[in-house]
Chains A and B, each alone.
Chain A
Amino acid sequence: MSPAASKAVLIADDDTLVVEVVKNKLRRQGYRVASATDGMSALAAVTETRPDLVILDAMMPVHDGYHVLREMKADPVLAAIPVLMLSARKLESDRLTALALGADGYLLKPFSADELAVCVRSFFS
């Protein structure tokens, strides 16, 4: 059985093209992928479905990715879900903030879909 089988991933990004690219790539790898396009619906989806991995954009409407990350890590039920940030924010301070808040990885946009797939797989191997 591949590590991807039966694993659920949530991609939260307000750019629908990013969502489509990530969904397509991960579904081809065998993951179940759901999506959200703002911070509030991302938090609701995480609470409701408890995915195995969350891929979070930093800049989203309603609540940004950092807020979602902070809320998840403050909730004992959700804190263990790994979070991979996928962001266009290149500054070292942005990366450090995300990691300090509990993110488990940080990928920069523009990104390589192959690299993303490898990164996602590493969470389940």
Chain B
Amino acid sequence: MLIAVWIVSIGFMLISLSAMAVLIIVRAVTAARSMRQAEWRAEALERIFKMLAEDSTVQLPARTPRGYTRLLTGLASDLLALLRGLEHGQLVEIFQAAGVREILIGDLRHWNARLAQAAAENLRHFRSPESVAALRQTLTHRTPEVRLAAALSLAEMKEAPPVEELVRILDIGSAEQSRLAVELFRRLAHREFETILAIAADRSRPALLRLMALEALAEQRDPRLVAVTSAIARDETGDIASQAVRFLGALGDRSVAPIISAGLQSADWRVRVQAATAAGRLGLGELSEQLTELLDDDAWWVRHRAGEALGSLREGGIEQLRAVSAGGEDRSRRAASLALDTRSVVARG
């Protein structure tokens, strides 16, 4: 019996020692790999800085290990995102000579979608017929994020397919609902403003798609946007209407006052919030009475935005706030006082 216990103990000891040895070896290998990567990185960076400083054509050291090519693509991504101007152009040449473009084109087909997405994003720096062809093929990638990244890069290279085709391929408005889709529309707006405006105006399209199109165009302050945005601001869905009201505030056209006024009376607090903000941005003094009433709104956010809007009105707003803070109902008095305090802090700051 004792011998059996002894043998089992010896067995456990051997297993433990083996596990420890494996862990030590793994740790040593990882540390050695990290050190090697750090050395490669320092060496590559030193050469890159030297090339940038001297505008020389010295090449990066030619190594083929996978770790080194990953390091180079990572450095290319970070440095190209960090630097602009002459150095940016020099960096593109340096990394192109080191074969980074070919590595990125290969990465577009990588099983790891994150790697493929990074490659699609970074290829925008390496404009060439090969890059454009590879990115166009990537528009049918199985992963939506990779497809979108490829479309963004193509748009930046001014090589993107027509907007309608992209909306269909990328399924924007249902599968793609990120800020990146808005960015894609923004990059294409110079070329296809009318098409994107038509998408925003088309009531048969998904509401999210219309809002994305609208948001991308809103910063252009084109007068043609007012009618479309005003129509969407009347949408029954609160989140859609509130976003449209927000864009109305950004367009800078005071003729939308009746729509903003209707928004201030909306049953949906999100619309009232955006309408109050828009009234302040547009300086709609004629809505100061309505804004004053909203100082007593059930929603704290509405009271806050109404106070801010009154504070930003040139005529009458501050007086309204002072009057309410001196003798209004408890809730509205607090909202008015907060708005006045915030103004004085900002003015002092």
Measured in the bound complex, the distance between the Cα atoms of B46 and A11 in whole Å is 19
Q: How far is the CB of A106 from chain B (nearest CB, A)?
A: 16
Would you call A112 and B45 a contact (CB within 8 A)?
Answer: no
Residues of A within 8 A of B327 (CB): none
Binary CB contact string for chain B from 117 to 142 against chain A (1 if under 8 A, 0 otherwise): 00000000000000000000000000
User: Which of B83-91, B144-152, B298-306, B314-322 is near enough to bind chain A?
Assistant: B83-91
Binary CB contact string for chain B from 306 to 349 against chain A (1 if under 8 A, 0 otherwise): 00000000000000000000000000000000000000000001
Residues of A within 8 A of B84 (CB): 110-112
Main secondary structure of the interface of B (DSSP, over half): helix
Q: How far is the CB of B156 from chain A (nearest CB, A)?
A: 14
Task: Let me know if B12 is at the binding interface, CB within 8 A.
Answer: no
Binary CB contact string for chain A from 96 to 125 against chain B (1 if under 8 A, 0 otherwise): 000010000000011111110000000000
Total A-B pairs, Cβ < 8 A: 36
Measured in the bound complex, the distance between the Cα atoms of B79 and A24 in whole Å is 14
Task: Let me know if B60 is at the binding interface, CB within 8 A.
Answer: no
Given A20-B45, A100-B349, check contact A114 B87 (CB 8 Å).
yes
Would you call A110 and B82 a contact (CB within 8 A)?
Answer: yes
Given A20-B45, A28-B53, A100-B349, check contact A115 B85 (CB 8 Å).
yes
Interface size class of B (residues with CB under 8 A): 10 to 19
**CB-CB contacts below 8 Å: B67-121 with A:** 78-79, 81-88
| The residue from B45, B49, B52, B83 contacting A110, defined by CB atoms under 8 A apart | B83
Total number of A residues with any Cβ neighbor in B under 8 Å: 15
Task: Let me know if A8 is at the binding interface, CB within 8 A.
Answer: no
| The residue from B45, B52, B78, B81 contacting A113, defined by CB atoms under 8 A apart | B52
Task: Let me know if A18 is at the binding interface, CB within 8 A.
Answer: yes
Nearest-CB residue, chain B, relative to A101: B349
Nearest-CB residue, chain A, relative to B52: A113
Interface centre among B53, B79, B82, B86 (most CB of A within 10 A): B82
Residues of A within 8 A of B83 (CB): 21, 110-113
Would you call B78 and A114 a contact (CB within 8 A)?
Answer: no
Interface centre among A18, A21, A109 (most CB of B within 10 A): A21
Q: List 12 A-B contacts (CB under 8 A).
A: A20-B45, A21-B79, A21-B82, A24-B53, A110-B84, A110-B88, A111-B84, A112-B85, A112-B86, A112-B87, A113-B87, A114-B85
